Every structure is written in structure tokens, then in C-alpha cells.
Structure 1
Amino acid sequence: MNNTTQEPPKIEFPCPDYPIKSMGEATASYREAVLNIMEKHAPGFDINRVSVRDSRKGTFQSVTVFITATGVEQLQSIFDDLKKLPETKMVL
């Protein structure tokens, strides 16, 4: 048996084109709430690259935003704020 532990890849900051996907209930305000959080933590992200997809039945929605990640603290703050949204089910 091999007991070596593989570490996750290291991210070099700043990291352009870093994708963040938030999935949640498809409500009228979910996309806007996600974008407000992204603007708070990663101002100036390219709104034209935002991707919004509804689930087959329209119950859920995924919002993918590409940002320039500046550090672990920034990413943690984004993930924490997205998870606080009542509609959010998962953040990747």
C-alpha cells in the first residue's frame, strides 16, 4: 500500500479566469444576489462572461462567473457569502 498523501494543486495568485459556480433554487433574485456578491469581492469581473443555466425542470439555476482571484482570503469570503444565500445549494 502507498500511504503518500497527494496535495491539491497550488493556485498562483493573481489567477485570471478563475471560475466560480453557484447553484441554487431558481428564484427571481438568485442571479442578481450572486452577481452582487461577486461585485463586492471581485469588482470589475466581465459581466459578458457570466453563464446562467436553468435545470431541466427549471427548479434550480447555476450561475458561473469568471474572476481574477487575488488570494485565498478573497475566495473564502466569496464562498462564505454565496453559501449564506438561502437559495444556494452548492458552490464550486
Structure 2
Amino acid sequence: MTDTEVKEPKIEFPCADYPIKVIGDTGVGFKAMVIEIVEKHAKINHDINAERQSSNGNYTTLQLHILAIDQDQLYNINSELRATGKVKMVL
């Protein structure tokens, strides 16, 4: 593939079970804040969410499954979460 060729997106939209991992500082209200932000942009499947803390308890990882409709939606979720200052990484 040359530099001028465009790669096809790896995600086929809409994607009904798109996983998002959010890693951030453990603290009161972290989970609620993340869910509130993500729900502004997407429908969350609350049946399959997961949460765990790092071994020393400093960080919390939330895995949410959403209905992803396009790349802009994912970008907006990522941007708003990172802007909080409490989120370290969104995967």
C-alpha cells in the first residue's frame, strides 16, 4: 500500500456492541461521570459493563459497550472524557 491509498475503516458502522475502555484516577464519582459523558453521545448496554481497579487502587478501568454510529461519535466521546482531567486513557 502506498501513502496515497486510503485504508478502509476497521469498524463497520453502526456497531451494536462496540467496547470502550476508560482508564482514570480512582475516586468518588468517577464511574458516574464516565457513564454520564458517554450517555450524552451513545446508548450504553448496561448488561455487560465491567469495572476493576489497579493493584494499588490508584486507577479504575471501566469497560462499556455502546452502539457506535460513526467515527465522529467516537472522537467526541474520547475528547470529552479526556477533557475532564480525570481520564488518563480511552481505548
Bucket of the pairwise TM-score, normalised by the shorter protein: 0.7 to 0.9
Residues 34-49 of structure 1 aligned to structure 2 (within 5 Å):
34-43=34-43, 45-49=44-48
* Secondary structure in structure 2 of the residue aligned to 1:16: strand
Residues 1-92 of structure 1 aligned to structure 2 (within 5 Å):
7=7, 9-43=9-43, 45-92=44-91
Looking at structure 2, the residues matched to 12 and 33 of structure 1 have their Cα atoms a distance apart, in angstroms, of: 28
Looking at structure 2, the residues matched to 51 and 62 of structure 1 have their Cα atoms a distance apart, in angstroms, of: 8
Looking at structure 1, the residues matched to 52 and 7 of structure 2 have their Cα atoms a distance apart, in angstroms, of: 32
TM, length-normalised to structure 2: 0.87
In structure 2, runs of 5+ residues without a counterpart are none
Whichever residue aligns with residue 63 of structure 1, its letter is L
TM, length-normalised to structure 1: 0.86
In structure 1, runs of 5+ residues without a counterpart are none
Aligned residues between the structures: 89
Identical amino acids, percent of aligned pairs: 37
